[in-house]
Amino acid sequence: MTTRYRVEYALKTHRRDQLIEWIKGLLAVPFVLHSQPTAVFEPEGESVDATATRTQRRYAEIMRDVEDIVNDHITHQQTGTQHRSKLKLLVPSVANFFTPLALHDAFIWQDQRRFISMRRFVPPSFNDVRLILNTAQVMSLIRNGPLELVTFDGDVTLYNDGQCLTPENPVIPRILKLMRNGSKIGIVTAAGYTEAHKYYERLYGLLDAIYASDLPQSAKQGLIIMGGESNYCFRFDGNVPDMLKLVPKQEWLLKEMVLWEESDITALLDIAEASLRDTVKNMRMDATIVRKERAVGIIPQPGNKFCRETLEETVLIAQKILEMSEVGNRLPFCAFNGGNDVFVDIGDKSWGVLACQQFFGGIEGSKTLHVGDQFLSAGANDFKARLACTTAWIANPTETVQLLDEMAELEEIQQRKLR
């Protein structure tokens, strides 16, 4: 039994978010005790609305309690004792929070849209909790505004996997609005290209819209692209071809990054490449190895789709081998499953976001939001951004648009309060 448990744990732990699972578990109790599934066939009992109101109150109380436990963790953070907080005992994988989370209010907000308390057969789910956490995060950021920097992942966050940001993408006017309100924008993507033209091809809808907009020059220059996780930095510039100007490394590299040795980079990529080659051979994958200056990956032969299990296996092997290597302890790297490819990049999105913050004059983590789709603890590249700033975990580009609309609505409420 113990062995079986361990196997299950080893296999699944990287596919779970412990904080979300814990909150889901807490909400399961009022669901079991208060939802009334029999009302479907016994209509003479309590009305649906009365049950929902009671259940909502219980859920909301729990979210208030969780909010307090998070605040207690933040108090511990301030004295460097976060490893001793109650939350750490309950959710050992929890890291630091950059802001409190308005969980009670966010629950009510999402309940009014998702009718969680109305449900009698489906308990609060992973996605319910994920969206409540996103709302709680943006509520807190906006109440303590202004939000100075928003960084976005590319694939799956701004556009569908492997696609481009085309002119009709509804995210474009929302990003322009953020820029108009004074937020800086960073696109922190794993896609690693040395030439501006490649990024223009992926992002032209947004870049053309910024060019054509009436935003002041200074606001337009508030957009940068951080490519290859944390390896290439381009800034919007309407006067150059492709509208992107390569920023010289000395203008944006963090001082720790200057110490990354070329020989270490080559050594790490050599180990990663050997691991990828080995897995491709063993798993009989129809793959091409791509070696770049700062990354190595496998991409499918045209028309081929790898299954999730194979992609995950490939990532986890590469990650383990690199973790065990000497150079892997000296140099940060990120091994991840890109949906139908696997890449190992030098650096990761925590460095990417930190570099954006420094570039814009030292913006704090509590004034920065990173929006991305990959937040599992292994094989996912947005996860590391949590070390640098607050985050929102979206599941597709439509959710990104919804999140930005929610932020605009909350901003309006906030402005009305201040008037």
Edge-to-edge order in the sheet of strand 390-393: 244-246, 232-236, 223-227, 184-188, 149-152, 368-372, 390-393
CA separation for the pair 361, 169 (Å, rounded): 30
* Listed ranges 1-9, 10-18, 123-131, 148-156: which one lies at the site for Mg ion (CB under 5 A): 148-156
273 sits near ligand IMP (criterion: CB under 6 A): no
Q: What binding mask, one character per residue, do residues 37-76 give for Mg ion by CB under 5 A, x or -?
A: ----------------------------------------
Shortest Cβ distance from residue 63 to Mg ion (Å)?
28
Identify what 345 binds: Mg ion, ligand IMP, none; CB under 5 to 8 Å per kind: ligand IMP
CA separation for the pair 246, 279 (Å, rounded): 36
Edge-to-edge order in the sheet of strand 295-300: 287-291, 295-300, 342-346, 333-337
Nearest-10 Cα torsion for 138, 221, 156, 202? 170
The strand ranges marked E within 1-146 are: none
CA separation for the pair 132, 359 (Å, rounded): 31
Token look-up 């091409």 returns 288
Please name which of 352, 255, 243 lies closest in space to residue 294, comparing C-alpha atoms. Answer: 352
Among 56, 183, 314, 381, binds ligand IMP (CB under 6 A): 381
Beta carbon nearer to ligand IMP, 24 or 386? 386
Structure tokens at 344: 């190992």
Shortest Cβ distance from residue 6 to ligand IMP (Å)?
31
- Catalytically annotated residues: 153, 155
Shortest Cβ distance from residue 168 to ligand IMP (Å)?
20
Shortest Cβ distance from residue 337 to ligand IMP (Å)?
8
341 sits near ligand IMP (criterion: CB under 6 A): yes
399 sits near Mg ion (criterion: CB under 5 A): no
Beta carbon nearer to Mg ion, 154 or 328? 154
191 sits near ligand IMP (criterion: CB under 6 A): yes
* Listed ranges 3-11, 66-74, 133-141, 146-154: which one lies at the site for Mg ion (CB under 5 A): 146-154
64 sits near ligand IMP (criterion: CB under 6 A): no
101 sits near ligand IMP (criterion: CB under 6 A): no
Shortest Cβ distance from residue 154 to ligand IMP (Å)?
3
* Listed ranges 120-128, 156-164, 166-174, 303-311: which one lies at the site for Mg ion (CB under 5 A): 156-164
Nearest-10 Cα torsion for 411, 412, 416, 419? 70
345 sits near Mg ion (criterion: CB under 5 A): no
- In order of 194, 306, 308, 410, the CA distances from 341 in angstroms are 20, 8, 10, 37
Total residues in contact with Mg ion, by rule CB under 5 A: 4
DSSP 385: G
Torsions phi, psi for 47 (to 5 deg): -70, 155
Total length of the chain? 419
292 sits near ligand IMP (criterion: CB under 6 A): yes
DSSP 45: S
Among 30, 192, 347, 365, binds ligand IMP (CB under 6 A): 192
Q: Which residues bind Mg ion (CB under 5 A)?
A: 153, 155-156, 373
Q: Which residues bind ligand IMP (CB under 6 A)?
A: 153-156, 189-192, 228, 292, 295, 297, 338-339, 341, 343, 345, 381
